[in-house]
């Protein structure tokens, strides 16, 4: 089994605290395109963000100190020890869309079909084997209440001990105040018992709402949660908020951000992509997990949801066409590895000035670049060469 989190990465740097990611400091608004608009609207919150960042940094340091002391004393129950694959836990109130999100993102269910999903009554786990094996689990509502008011025999250790992130799904089209209450209880519980788990909030089902209402609700929810958490003494806990909907790409983008926080290789990948973009005049580059269409990294230039949409749709096009005509190789899989590197390109105007370039890193990972003006077709040689270098570097990063 291929694991990303090798033993020595773990022991050297327990978790690259996502809060101290330099890119977030530089681009607080690139957290999510959806949230960026909201945060610019509420400018006072930006200062909050900075103070919070400083606090987090302290916290992270303290954490690291704790960590070493635990290691020395050989007892680290407090901290979540993540090994193996990133594991995501979905929580939320009844009919908020937990199963739908999971099915759409990891099992490629068509969003329209999620209407017919039955409600989940026990913990359901799903694995997706791709470049990274994602493990996701969904906690039915009965268990969610059990978490907030734990029964003595409730084994939260089994559920939370190896989780990387808890995703709380909040249905904005429903009465969400009760959900917020239990979300806060859960967040506090997690902050006290498993402080290493990232807590993420998906403000879900935003499709069909007017933009204004959407941002208003988004801000309200964020404000409320933040206030409550600080009242309870956990104001320093960073909670990320995303506006999502399974009917567009926002859910994939949000999932990408969540997954990225769990990858220790993220800074290295981002640095590589930044270099590639500046040398080859690439407008935007994404590193896609081909199967799930979650992107593992992107360069530091401001990201827009629509760039992501185009790239992810393009990945779809390539995958579909490859499926249709790649049937020769399916029989003898040994040839698959020996085959040339797949690459693809689509150009839009006759001059070939604007185009999208895709290159397969391996079966599960592909690099998609939106090329800007000025990198015309005659520069392709250079781009191919540089992409080749990036290719080798990435393979080395992930070589375990």
Which residues of this protein are in contact with other proteins, per CB under 8 A? 110, 112, 247, 306-307, 309-310, 313-314, 316-318, 320-329, 335, 338-350, 352, 360, 380-382, 384-385
Alpha carbon of residue 224 to chain centroid = 24
Alpha carbon of residue 364 to chain centroid = 17
Report which secondary-structure segment, H or E, holds 128: strand 124-128
CB of 378 to other proteins, least distance (A): 10
Nearer to other proteins (CB atom), residue 154 or residue 385? 385
Nearer to other proteins (CB atom), residue 160 or residue 357? 357
CA distance 331 to 132: 25
CB of 37 to other proteins, least distance (A): 18
CB of 336 to other proteins, least distance (A): 8
Alpha carbon of residue 25 to chain centroid = 18
Q: Which residues contact 84 (CB under 8 A, 6 or more apart)?
A: 3, 5, 133, 135, 162
* Residue 74 falls in which region: left (phi positive, over 0), alpha (psi -120 to 50) or beta: left
CB of 326 to other proteins, least distance (A): 5
CB of 320 to other proteins, least distance (A): 5
Q: Which residues contact 202 (CB under 8 A, 6 or more apart)?
A: 101, 167, 168, 169, 170, 242, 244, 251, 254
Nearer to other proteins (CB atom), residue 70 or residue 247? 247
CB of 324 to other proteins, least distance (A): 5
Q: If we measure between CA atoms, which residue out of 162, 112, 117, 118 comes closest to residue 137?
A: 162
Nearer to other proteins (CB atom), residue 77 or residue 363? 363
Q: If we measure between CA atoms, which residue out of 280, 244, 273 comes closest to residue 374?
A: 280
Nearer to other proteins (CB atom), residue 74 or residue 208? 208
Nearer to other proteins (CB atom), residue 289 or residue 307? 307
Q: Please, which residues bridge with residue 92 across strands? A: 169
């Amino acid at each position: 089994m291929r694991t990303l989190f090798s033993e020595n990465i773990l022991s050297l740097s327990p978790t690259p605290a996502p809060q101290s990611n330099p890119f977030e400091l530089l681009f607080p608004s690139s957290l999510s395109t959806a949230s960026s608009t909201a945060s610019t609207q509420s400018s006072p919150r930006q200062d909050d963000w900075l103070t919070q960042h400083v606090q987090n940094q302290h916290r992270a340091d303290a954490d690291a100190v704790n960590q070493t002391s635990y290691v020395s004393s050989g007892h680290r129950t407090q901290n979540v020890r993540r090994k193996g694959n990133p594991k995501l836990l979905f929580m939320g109130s009844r009919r908020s869309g937990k199963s739908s999100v999971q099915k759409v993102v990891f099992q490629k269910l068509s969003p329209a079909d999620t209407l017919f999903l039955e409600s989940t009554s026990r913990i359901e786990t799903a694995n997706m084997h791709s470049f990274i094996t994602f493990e996701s689990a969904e906690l039915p509502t009965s268990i969610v209440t059990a978490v907030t008011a734990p029964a003595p025999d409730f084994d939260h250790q089994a559920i939370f001990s190896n989780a990387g992130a808890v995703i709380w799904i909040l249905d904005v089209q429903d009465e969400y105040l009760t959900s917020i209450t239990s979300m806060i209880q859960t967040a506090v519980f997690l902050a006290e018992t498993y402080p290493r788990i990232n807590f993420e909030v998906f403000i879900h089902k935003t499709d069909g709402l007017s933009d204004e209402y959407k941002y208003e609700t988004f801000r309200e929810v964020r404000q409320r949660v933040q206030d409550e958490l600080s009242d309870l003494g956990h104001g320093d806990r960073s909670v990320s908020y995303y506006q999502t909907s399974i009917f567009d790409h926002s859910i994939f983008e949000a999932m990408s951000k969540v997954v990225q926080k769990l990858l220790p290789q993220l800074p290295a990948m981002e640095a590589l992509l930044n270099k590639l973009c500046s040398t080859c005049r690439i407008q935007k580059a994404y590193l896609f997990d081909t199967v799930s269409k979650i992107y593992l990294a992107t360069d530091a230039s401001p990201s827009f949801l629509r760039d992501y949409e185009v790239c992810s749709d393009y990945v779809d096009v390539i995958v579909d066409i490859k499926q249709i005509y790649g049937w020769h190789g399916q029989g003898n899989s040994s040839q698959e590895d020996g085959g040339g590197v797949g690459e693809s390109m689509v150009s839009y105007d006759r001059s070939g000035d604007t185009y999208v370039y895709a290159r397969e890193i391996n079966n599960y990972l592909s690099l998609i670049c939106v090329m800007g003006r000025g990198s015309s077709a005659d520069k392709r040689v250079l781009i191919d060469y540089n992409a080749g270098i990036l290719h080798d570097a990435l393979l080395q990063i992930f070589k375990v």
